[in-house]
Amino acid sequence: MEPLNLGQLIDALGRHDPKASVGYDFCRLAPAGPWSYRGYYDHLALGFNTTARRPTVDELLIVLRGAVGKVFEGYKGGNYTMTRATPVWVAQWGDTSETRIAAVEKKNDVGDVVLVTMTSDEWL
C-alpha cells in the first residue's frame, strides 16, 4: 500500500457521503490544518485535534481543495505551492512524523469515515 498524495486524498474522500464525519484511525482524533510539513516544506501536513466535533467529508474537502494551488509558508520561511501531486503527512504544525494517510474508508454502519494511516516502515 502506498501513501496518498493530496489529489488522491481528495478523490478518495469524494467517494463518501458528504455529510459523514471524518476522523483518524487512532485515538478518535479529528483532522486539522493544513499547513506546510516541517520535514519537507513543499509537502502538506494535516494535524489533529481532540475536538468533540469532527469535520464532515464536505467540510474537509473544501479545506483540501482550497490547498491545491495555495502558497504555504514553510516552518522556517519560504513559500511553497501545493498541487494535487503533493505528499500529505499527519503532523502538528512545526512537528515531523513518520505517518501518512494510506486510505479513506467507511468506518461503520453509521457512515463515519476514517483516514487510515501508515508509518514510513510500512511503505518503504
Nearest Cα residue to 31 out of 121, 104, 124, 110: 104
What residues make up the domain containing 101?
Answer: 6-123
The confidence band for 27, taking pLDDT boundaries of 50, 70 and 90, is confident
**Mean pLDDT score, 15-43:** 94
**What is the rounded CA–CA span in Å between residue 2 and residue 8?**
11
Task: Please give the mean pLDDT across all residues of the chain.
Answer: 93
Does a structural domain hold residue 1? no
Does a structural domain hold residue 90? yes
pLDDT computed for residue 91 by the predictor: 97
Does a structural domain hold residue 14? yes
pLDDT computed for residue 124 by the predictor: 62
Does a structural domain hold residue 58? yes
**Domain total in the chain:** 1
Cα–Cα distances in angstroms (integers) from residue 86 to residues 5, 43, 95, 110, 113, in the given order? 5, 6, 18, 31, 22
